[in-house]
């Protein structure tokens, strides 16, 4: 039985675009190598932090929504703790209401993009 999860992590702002994508690909590879299915991902880009972390005021935000076995999450989060490029991370298990909400939100965003292209 696979549960659905959502992880948001913040990478240090001193990374180049290439280094940032290498970091993201590392964590996506950990998921896929362990039998997970990536449902959705979203690069939020460089954003201002609510408070300084490691004397930095900005960070690269990235979201990954995925289906995975529950025992993978502790190993996955251990990798986040070991990686010096990661400033913060949060993994949340989604219930059926959150899954429905996320699907609806993605569908509405896709419709909005289509309407913008048509206009």
pLDDT at 1 (0 to 100): 76
pLDDT at 97: 93
- Report phi then psi at 67, rounded to 5: -105, 130
**Structure confidence at residue 2 (pLDDT):** 86
For residue 87, the model assigns a pLDDT of: 96
- The model's pLDDT over 6-53, given as tens digits with 9 standing for 90+, comes to 999 999 999 999 999 999 999 999 999 998 999 999 999 999 999 999
What was the pLDDT predicted at 116? 83
Q: What is the CATH number of the domain that holds 36?
A: 3.30.70.60
- List Cα–Cα distances, 42 to 2, 5, 8, 29, 106, in angstroms: 21, 14, 9, 16, 11
Residue 4 CA to residue 67 CA, distance in Å, equals: 4
Query: Which residues span the domain enclosing 31?
Result: 3-118
pLDDT of residue 12: 95
Number of domains in the chain: 1
Which residues 6+ apart lie within 8 Å of 103 measured at CB? none
pLDDT at 90 (0 to 100)? 96
pLDDT digits (tens, 9 = 90+) for 61-117: 999 999 999 899 999 999 999 999 999 999 999 999 999 999 999 898 888 888 888
Position 94 scores a pLDDT of 93
What pTM was computed for the model?
A: 0.88
């Amino acid at each position: 039985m696979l549960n659905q999860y959502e992880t948001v992590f913040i990478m240090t702002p001193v990374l180049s675009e290439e280094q940032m994508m290498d970091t993201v690909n590392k964590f996506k590879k950990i998921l896929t190598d362990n039998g997970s299915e990536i449902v959705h991902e979203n690069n939020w880009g460089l954003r201002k932090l609510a408070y300084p972390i490691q004397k930095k005021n900005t960070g690269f935000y990235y979201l990954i929504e995925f289906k995975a076995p529950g025992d993978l999450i502790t190993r996955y989060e251990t990798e986040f703790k070991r990686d010096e490029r990661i400033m913060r991370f949060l993994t949340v298990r989604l219930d059926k209401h959150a899954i429905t909400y996320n699907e609806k939100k993605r569908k509405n965003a896709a419709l909005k993009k289509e309407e913008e292209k048509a206009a």
